[in-house]
Structure 1
Amino acid sequence: MSDYRCYEFQKKVDELLIRHKSILDLLSKYQESCSKVNRAIIKTVTNCGCVKIEAQKQQIPSDVSFNELNNFMDTHIKGDLCETCRDKIEEEIGNHLFYLVGICNGLNMDVSDIIKKQIMQMETLGKFNLY
């Protein structure tokens, strides 16, 4: 996302977020939106069936290096999202982003700066960033 899009999105959230301006409201709405994202994904399996989850222990050969590990990790997702499920998940993720940016606004934090710092950290630490 370009800095301009981040700026425009953050500005629009600030403009439209009126009722839930309190940090307490924002935190509870953010948590609720996270649950809705999870529920939308779950319903792709349990209601629509466009995707399946086939989870099992990751099968990683013992002689694999850390750099090769990504080639052996499975998402456990089988199938592809149908258009209806994709639209619903995108909607819920959009709402989630809305409240996340609302939290940033409440704390006077710039989303673009946060993204830049995270990119720098990922570039510096590489694959060890989230290990």
Structure 2
Amino acid sequence: MSAPTLQEFQQQVSELLLRHRSLLDVVTKYSQSNASVNRAVAKAITECGCIELNAKNQGFTEAMEIDQARRQSKSHMNGQLCENCKDVVRGEMGKNLFYLSAMCNLLDISLEEVVAKEADKCSTLGFFNLT
């Protein structure tokens, strides 16, 4: 079975969403699901230990060339998510995507269009989009 398109997923969410038809309910559930993604990543660090953080200043300067900045930028992460933590994070991201799609439905916004416009903006603006 292939993965559904964003449009198909958004339609599926529309058909399944019964309890949270209020925009306020969906907005707060989306926020809660985002916090759950962050919490799952934090637990991978603090409870499982499959990944570690070692954050420090990236050392970028205004005069730095993009290639040099790219070479010196770090994720601050050591290790990789174990399969258990990856499953948990993936599940929380799925819930987050569900509520994002539900919010799109209530606001009559196409999730596929949101992704396409953001991709176009990234292509057009490149690194300047990050500020």
Structures share a fold, TM > 0.5?
Answer: yes
Q: 1:87 offset after TM fit, Å?
A: 0.3
Paired with 2:62 and 2:130, the residues of 1 have a C-alpha distance of 21
Structure 1 segment 26-105 matched on structure 2, within 5 A: 26-60=26-60, 64-105=64-105
Paired with 1:93 and 1:84, the residues of 2 have a C-alpha distance of 14
User: Could you tell me which amino acid in structure 1 is paired with residue 126 of structure 2?
Assistant: G
Q: 1:66 offset after TM fit, Å?
A: 2.8
Q: 1:127 offset after TM fit, Å?
A: 1.5
Q: Which residue of 1 aligns with 2:19?
A: 19
RMSD, aligned α-carbons? 1.5
Q: 1:60 offset after TM fit, Å?
A: 4.0
Paired with 2:94 and 2:46, the residues of 1 have a C-alpha distance of 22
Residue by residue, what CA displacement relative to the aligned partner does 1:40-90 show, whole Å, maximum 9, x if unpaired?
000001100001011111134786313431221111110011000000000
Q: Which residue of 1 aligns with 2:10?
A: 10
User: Could you tell me which amino acid in structure 1 is paired with residue 101 of structure 2?
Assistant: V
User: Could you tell me which amino acid in structure 1 is paired with residue 79 of structure 2?
Assistant: G
Between Structure 1 and Structure 2, how many residues are aligned?
128
* Structure 2: runs of 5+ lacking an equivalent: none
Residue by residue, what CA displacement relative to the aligned partner does 1:3-52 show, whole Å, maximum 9, x if unpaired?
x6111100010011110110000011001001100000000011000010
Provide the TM-score with structure 2 as the length reference.
0.91
Q: Structure 1 stretch 4-13 or stretch 43-52: which is displaced more?
A: 4-13
* Structure 1: runs of 5+ lacking an equivalent: none
Provide the TM-score with structure 1 as the length reference.
0.91
Matched-pair identity in %: 38
Moved over 3 A (4+): 59-63
Paired with 2:84 and 2:121, the residues of 1 have a C-alpha distance of 36
Residues 69 and 24 from structure 1, CA distance in 2 versus in 1: closer, same or farther, beyond 3 angstroms?
same
Paired with 1:68 and 1:108, the residues of 2 have a C-alpha distance of 42
